[in-house]
Amino acid sequence: MPTDQVVVITGASSGVGRATALAFARAGARLVLASRSRPALDDVAAQCREAGAEVRVTVADVLVPETVAEVADTAVTAFGGIDVWVNTAAVMAYGRFEDVPAGVFDRVVEVDLLGGATVARVALDRFRRQGHGILIFGGSLLGTVVTPYTSSYVTSKWGLRALIRALRLETRDAPDIHVCLVSPGAVNTPIYRNAANYAGVAGKPPPPIDQPETVAAAIVRCARKPRATVNVGLANRIISLGFVAVPGLYDVLVGPLMRVGGLSREAMPAHRGNVFEPALPDAEGLHGEWRPAWWRPRQAAGTAAVLAAALVAGRWAARLRR
């Protein structure tokens, strides 16, 4: 990756987006950072400048096309073009489908899927005009499997994966334009606390948990050597195998595992989180409050059950292929 590469990041104020901004800054890229929160943007921009990067910031909402276009214009005006555009902007809601208000459900799908489409529309227009570019989307394991209590997020991530596949097909005539998907499992970011919640208890990332820097490193590698899909997470492939190979067994196990590993015992009143408005600046950090604690009994039991289910799934799949 050239050290002067121009990188745009939408969703740069928190979690994986913030970690990605810092990773590109350390790699010598010139950055345009965008999100809904100006205070959080200023904070991450200051950290990137401390790492030696040239940085511009633009307040933008991926559901407002004019603001996304302003992000592109800022990059072109300041740096002459865009080499890489990373979109990690996303919101989330917990709760049974019938308990999540329709407006909240719809907004999650709009931000995570239609917002991604808006970014793609603007980025690909610029890439077509300049003849090259790498568009990287932050996806999720939940774009390939399903968990209860996250129906809006799952719906949007499955849709985003389909959109990305379509975009790859439609850019086959442009070999220097790449559309990539980086899909992590659970990541220690603030999204779980900032999510809307109608489950009655707080959400949390199920084990095994990666740090946002791990995902950011995968995104930087993808910018250096574009790949269609990059999975980040120890258990992603085996969980996906269980989902496809033995769906009945998966469906029996995923509910109890989600209640143990993905929901806490902490009571949580119903709230809309950051679905409609950005979180407060002190909630827009790099990390959440969770650590990769395999030794904790509840987490270890949940992880062991997932791996056991995946092992059974693999054996069933092997028998079916005979």
Q: Point out the residues that are catalytic.
A: 153
Domain for residue 248, yes or no?
Answer: yes
Q: What is the pLDDT of residue 279?
A: 87
Domain for residue 260, yes or no?
Answer: yes
Domain for residue 107, yes or no?
Answer: yes
Domain for residue 203, yes or no?
Answer: yes
The CATH number linked to 84 is 3.40.50.720
Q: Which domain holds residue 40?
A: 6-321
Domain for residue 280, yes or no?
Answer: yes
* Burial (CB count within 10 angstroms: exposed 0-12, middle 13-18, buried 19+), residue 297: exposed
Domain for residue 145, yes or no?
Answer: yes
Domain for residue 202, yes or no?
Answer: yes
Looking at the structure of the chain, the number of domains it has is 1
Helices (H) and strands (E) in the chain, counts: 11, 13
Q: Classify residue 175 by its DSSP letter.
A: T
Q: What is the pLDDT of residue 156?
A: 98
Distance separating the N- and C-terminal Cα atoms of the chain:
45
Domain for residue 1, yes or no?
Answer: no
Per-residue CA distances from 74 to 7, 8, 68, 130, 181 (Å): 12, 10, 10, 16, 24
Q: What is the pLDDT of residue 281?
A: 75
Q: What is the pLDDT of residue 271?
A: 97
State which H helix or E strand residue 137 sits in: strand 133-138
Ordered alpha helix ranges (H), the chain: 15-26, 38-50, 65-79, 102-109, 115-130, 151-170, 191-194, 212-224, 236-245, 247-261, 297-321
Give bridge partners of residue 55 from the DSSP assignment: 31
> Residue ranges of the chain with pLDDT lower than 70?
1-3, 292-322
Q: What is the pLDDT of residue 285?
A: 86
Q: What is the C-alpha separation between 219 and 211, in angstroms, rounded?
A: 13
Q: What is the pLDDT of residue 103?
A: 98
Q: What is the pLDDT of residue 3?
A: 61
